[in-house]
Structure 1
Amino acid sequence: MGIPKRQVSSTASSRIYDTLRQDLINGRFTAGEKVAISALKERYEIGLSPLREALNRLAAHGLLIQENQRGFRVPSMERSELDDIAEMRRELEGMALERAIRLGDAEWESELLAAAHRLKRADMAPDKVEEWEHFHACFHRTLVAPCGSAWLLRFIAQLHDQFDRYRRMAPEAPEVRRVLDAQHGELVELALERDIKSARALMDDHIQRSYQVALQGVLSPA
């Protein structure tokens, strides 16, 4: 018995959604660029139905802008938007971290230690950067996972995607990166110690330092 067409289409849509999401975050489309559906079909070798479904999901997630009767467009990149994204990250991620520290159990502690270990061991060489990005995202998700609010986690995930559009376009800042990497370990220590006040302050600083890096993606000449 074959796989139902609806299931095949759903699988194809999920696959192209993940691929396009990564390409949009990684800056493989120019900010403000109009996205031609016909060109995407050829480039990704995907059917129209799953492609449209994926594009609609990306628009709902804020990674594309849907224009009436005009298809889709890649969002612009503006400092005012980055400022807003960073501020919302500080507010929502800080809130989630406080809740996670209060509610997290022993299983969360072990998962957090494992996520931090995988991130620390990840290679940031140019050909391995996507692996590092994966473990980096997993670490931040694990850190706030037991906050008790699915909606809060959804908003944070969306903010991370928007923030990463800017961060990944910025020039490398190895000295800042070393500080940020060290702060990952410090966040784990404070979380395990259940030091909510210090963990929240460190998270604020962590996001601010990362914001300063991401900002260069806006300020640097194209």
Structure 2
Amino acid sequence: MGIFERKEGVTASSWIYDTLRQDLVNGRFTAGEKLAISALKERYGVGLSPLREALNRLAAYGLLIQENQRGFRVPRLARDELDDIADMRRELEGMALERAIQRGDAEWESELLAAAHRLKRADEAPEMEEEWERLHMRFHRTLVAPCGSAWLLRFIEQLHDQFDRYRRLAPGEPEVRRVLDAQHGELVELALARDVKGARTLMDDHIQRSYEVALGSFARELDPADRQQAGVGSADLLSRR
């Protein structure tokens, strides 16, 4: 019997896709884990058809690996992949932010202030971790929303999901979290001041700091070869944040 509830009016296919997507991003499954269809049906209380449709969509999206005639597997964590994701976030999110600042109107300014306010309230309530994650994603979406490119926004959202697979494994680091939280407010100030260069520079730093957290957090999960490639051990990475 599934322990999850579906909202009225939401199709089984859409619901299981969204639920599995969040569970994969949030680290509810182990990297490299093979997913058993029967166990997923039982856990989520859905039929085979909508489940298979969702799994195929998630494989196309990059959150699962489809193995020929062998089902689906959660992607492993890899240093070179995290490096690539962070680099692409800097490039694409920075570009989108520049365009958003140049194109954003008064309505966008109001929405951005509201998103920042909601996120700040969640910052002050550590017990609201899941709500914070939702509001954090909404803030970043709002920040770049008027960039003028639906494709750019899609790519950024996909990169965020892939990046968060690593970041969500991070243990609590209050000092790093405080710096990152403060940068959200600074990004709003620069965006409202239409300071394109300053906002781009701060966004690059924001992503870099988040990358360092993610890098340290999954060091213990790496294969020995990846640890050697990183050039440091888990303790070294964690102390560097």
- Alpha carbons 1:119, 1:139 under 8 Å: kept: yes
1:3 corresponding residue in structure 2: none
Which structure 2 residue ranges, 5 or more long, are not aligned?
1-7, 223-241
Q: Determine helix, strand or coil for the equivalent of 2:139.
A: helix
2:43 corresponding residue in structure 1: 43
1:16 aligned to 2:16? yes
Quick one: distance in 2 between partners of 1:125 and 1:213? 21
Question: TM-score, normalization: structure 2?
Answer: 0.86
Matched residue pairs, number?
215
2:237 corresponding residue in structure 1: none
Residues 9/215 of structure 1: CA separation in 2 closer, same or farther (3 Å cut): same
2:25 corresponding residue in structure 1: 25
1:195 corresponding residue in structure 2: 195
Superposition pairs for residues 173-184 of structure 1, below 5 Å?
Answer: 173-184=173-184
- Alpha carbons 2:31, 2:77 under 8 Å: kept: yes
- Alpha carbons 1:116, 1:139 under 8 Å: kept: yes
Residues 100/192 of structure 1: CA separation in 2 closer, same or farther (3 Å cut): same
Determine what percentage of the aligned residue pairs are the same residue: 81
Residues 168-206 of structure 1, C-alpha deviations (whole Å, 9 max, x = no match): 101211101101000000000000000000000000000
Question: TM-score, normalization: structure 1?
Answer: 0.93
Quick one: distance in 2 between partners of 1:64 and 1:198? 37
- Alpha carbons 2:85, 2:162 under 8 Å: kept: yes
Quick one: distance in 1 between partners of 2:140 and 2:82? 19
Which structure 1 residue ranges, 5 or more long, are not aligned?
1-7
Quick one: distance in 2 between partners of 1:146 and 1:99? 7
- Alpha carbons 1:78, 1:218 under 8 Å: kept: no
1:155 corresponding residue in structure 2: 155
1:134 corresponding residue in structure 2: 134
Q: How far off its partner does 1:219 sit?
A: 1.1
Residues 197/107 of structure 1: CA separation in 2 closer, same or farther (3 Å cut): same
Q: How far off its partner does 1:67 sit?
A: 1.0
CA RMSD of aligned residues (A): 1.6
| Larger CA deviation: 133-142 vs 13-22 | 13-22
